[in-house]
C-alpha cells in the first residue's frame, strides 16, 4: 500500500485495496458550490461502499456541508461530539482547524492531507483484522514498525498530538500515548494495528508476547 501515496488516485486505490471492489454507485447529489474539490472527491470515493468507511469519528453528510460566515466549513465530527474539524476556505490549501468549545487551532495539515490521515485512521479503527494494545513496550513496537513507513502526517490532527500513523505493505499502525489506567512508562506506547487479512496480522505480531495481544 505504501506506493499508493505517490499516485493521484490514492484514495480510490487504497479503499479498493482495503475494502474490496465498490458495491454501490458513487454519484453525489447537489452540493453547496463552496465545498472544496478535495471534499467532493472524498465523498464521491467514500460513497462506493455501503458499509461506510468511517467507524469512530465521522464526516458530515455532503449535503449538509455549508460555508460559514467566518470562511470555515465544518466537515468532520468526533464521535463524542467533543471536537470538530473545519476547512479554512480562505487558505490556498484549505487548512484544517480543530475546535473544542469553539477554540479553533490549526492541525498543521491542509484538507487533502487531513483526509488521507483520517481515512487511514478510520480504516484501522474499523478493521476486521485488528489488535489493540493499550500499552506496548517500545522495543516491541519498534520491532514491528521496521516493516512500516511513517505516514508523516500528524501535528494536532487529532485530540492526541502524539498519535502517529505507519503504513505497511498490507497493514496500518497507529501509535499514541497509552490511555489512562494503563502503564504510561515513557518507553511504552498505545499500539493499534489492522491488516488486510488474518495471516498478515499474525505475521506482524508473531514475536509479540501473547499477553499483550489479549488486551483491549
Residue 146's pLDDT is what?
A: 92
Strands laid side by side in the 96-100 sheet: 58-59, 72-77, 84-88, 96-100, 103-106
* Per-position pLDDT tens, the chain of length 216: 655 554 445 788 899 999 999 988 888 888 999 999 999 999 999 999 988 999 999 999 999 999 999 999 999 999 888 889 999 999 999 999 998 877 888 988 999 989 998 999 999 999 999 999 988 998 899 999 998 999 877 655 566 777 899 999 999 999 998 877 766 566 889 999 999 999 999 999 887 766 665 443
Residue 53's pLDDT is what?
A: 93
Q: Cell numbers 487529532 correspond to what residue? A: 158
Cβ–Cβ under 8 Å, residues 166 and 173: yes
Residue 210's pLDDT is what?
A: 65
Residue 215's pLDDT is what?
A: 44
Residue 184's pLDDT is what?
A: 59
If you write DSSP's letter for every residue of 3-30 in order, what string do you get? GGGGSTTHHHHHHHHHH-S--S------
* The three three-digit cell numbers of residue 158, written as one number: 487529532
Residue 186: CA count within 13 A, CB half-sphere:
0
Residue 216's pLDDT is what?
A: 39
Task: List, in sequence order, every residue forming a beta bridge with 195; answer none if it has no partner.
Answer: 129, 171
Residue 13: CA count within 13 A, CB half-sphere:
10
Amino acid at each position: 500500500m505504501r506506493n499508493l501515496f505517490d499516485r493521484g488516485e490514492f484514495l480510490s486505490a487504497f479503499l479498493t485495496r482495503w475494502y474490496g471492489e465498490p458495491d454501490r454507485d458513487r454519484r453525489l447529489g447537489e452540493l453547496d458550490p463552496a465545498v472544496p474539490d478535495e471534499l467532493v472527491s472524498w465523498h464521491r470515493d467514500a460513497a462506493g461502499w455501503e458499509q461506510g468507511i468511517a467507524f469512530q469519528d465521522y464526516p458530515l453528510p455532503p449535503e449538509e456541508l455549508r460555508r460559514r460566515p467566518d470562511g470555515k466549513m465544518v466537515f468532520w465530527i468526533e464521535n463524542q461530539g467533543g471536537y470538530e474539524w473545519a476547512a479554512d476556505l480562505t487558505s490556498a490549501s484549505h487548512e484544517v482547524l480543530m475546535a473544542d468549545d469553539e477554540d479553533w487551532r490549526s492541525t498543521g495539515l491542509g484538507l487533502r492531507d487531513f483526509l488521507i490521515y483520517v481515512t487511514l485512521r478510520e480504516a484501522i479503527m474499523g478493521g476486521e483484522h485488528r489488535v489493540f494494545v493499550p500499552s506496548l513496550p517500545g522495543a516491541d513496537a519498534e520491532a514491528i514498525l521496521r516493516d512500516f513507513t511513517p505516514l508523516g502526517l500528524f501535528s494536532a490532527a487529532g485530540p492526541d498530538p502524539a498519535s502517529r500513523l505507519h503504513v505497511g505493505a498490507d497493514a496500518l499502525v497507529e501509535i499514541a500515548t497509552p490511555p489512562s489506567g494503563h502503564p504510561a512508562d515513557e518507553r511504552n506506547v498505545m499500539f493499534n494495528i489492522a491488516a488486510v487479512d488474518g495471516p498478515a496480522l499474525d505475521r506482524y505480531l508473531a514475536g509479540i508476547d501473547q499477553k499483550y495481544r489479549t488486551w483491549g
